[in-house]
Amino acid sequence: MNSSGGHDGDVASDVLLKACLKDPFLRELQGNMLSDPKGVQTIGKIRDVRNKVLELQPSASKVIELMDYQRNGLAVLLRIIQCVEKEGETWRSGVQALAKAYAEEEKAKRKADEKEKKDEERKRVRLAKAAARDERQKKEKEARAAEQAAAAEAEAEGGAGSAAEGEDDKTKTRTRRRTGGAAGELDPSDPAVLRTLRVAHGLPSTSITEELSGFVNKICMQPNLPTVLRFKKGMAKKVLSVSWLL
């Protein structure tokens, strides 16, 4: 694109030739289009030849020769333009491919970030559910423990009440037996023969005592009347021991 003419145009054309020979695509033309340095011309050189040099030529053959150089120079410039276009397309394709790669990378990164966020959200939800489940199980366990403790306490109170009632029943039975002996009454736990004697017609009330001395006294004083002695374990043991000795 150098616009210099004359000697400066020749210098610029030589610089263009050297640049073409260094280019990896254009150096292949050094056997034909780049073989003659005069056939490599800048825009300024071509214009200078057409506007000035051609009119100064002495013959038509010289004009044709200069036009042949001009034709070759234009062909070289056209080839340079084509190379620049291809290089530009290659660069543009590379830039587009790079931009596409960057876009794909950004897209993949966004997907990875979204996936990571979703994974973290799922993990957070899973941990929250696990914590809620553990808390629920803990509360259920505490509730069961409280129920068991209450049941055990109620059972203990019931057992104590039952034991107290049993003791009361035993006490009442002993009292009833004692009072029955004092009042001369038999209870259903006494042998049937004694209860029959008790209610038999023509017989006085059966004497019931818990004292061995009273029993012996009754036998001695009223040997013909029935007399009942309520033995305790200790007294029965003593009587049996004495009977065995006798």
Buried b (16+ CB within 10 A) or exposed e, 152-186: eeeeeeeeeeeeeeeeeeeeeeeeebeebbeeeeb
Query: CB-based contacts of 5: which residues, under 8 Å, 6+ apart?
Result: 44, 45, 47, 48, 52
Cα separation, 70 vs 36, in Å, equals: 12
79 within 8 A of 87, measured Cβ to Cβ: no
40 within 8 A of 68, measured Cβ to Cβ: no
Asked if residue 175 is part of any domain, the answer here is no
Asked if residue 140 is part of any domain, the answer here is no
* Res. 99 pLDDT band, cuts 50 70 90: very high
Domains in the chain: how many in total? 2
Picking from 66, 86, 109, the residue at the C-terminal end of a domain is: 109
Asked if residue 149 is part of any domain, the answer here is no
Q: In the numeric block, which tokens belong to residue 232?
A: 């305790």
Q: Which of 25, 30, 40 is nearest to 74 (CA)?
A: 40
Cα separation, 65 vs 61, in Å, equals: 6
Residue with the bigger pLDDT between 38 and 187: it is 38
Say yes or no: 104 and 198 in one domain: no
Picking from 66, 91, 109, the residue at the C-terminal end of a domain is: 109
Q: Mean pLDDT score of the chain, rounded to an integer? A: 80
pLDDT above 50: residue 95: yes
Range of the domain at 68: 6-109
Range 173-193 average pLDDT: 56
Residues of the chain above pLDDT 70, percent? 76
Say yes or no: 99 and 10 in one domain: yes
Say yes or no: 17 and 103 in one domain: yes
Q: Which of 94, 87, 51, 42 is nearest to 69 (CA)?
A: 42
Asked if residue 210 is part of any domain, the answer here is yes
Residue with the bigger pLDDT between 124 and 201: it is 124
Q: Fill in the DSSP letter of residue 206.
A: P
pLDDT at residue 25, as a whole number: 81
Picking from 109, 125, 160, the residue at the C-terminal end of a domain is: 109
pLDDT at residue 158, as a whole number: 67
Residue with the bigger pLDDT between 84 and 165: it is 84
Asked if residue 139 is part of any domain, the answer here is no
pLDDT above 80: residue 106: yes
Provide the phi-psi class of 202: left if phi over 0, else alpha when psi is between -120 and 50, else beta.
Answer: left
Asked if residue 38 is part of any domain, the answer here is yes
Asked if residue 88 is part of any domain, the answer here is yes
Asked if residue 54 is part of any domain, the answer here is yes
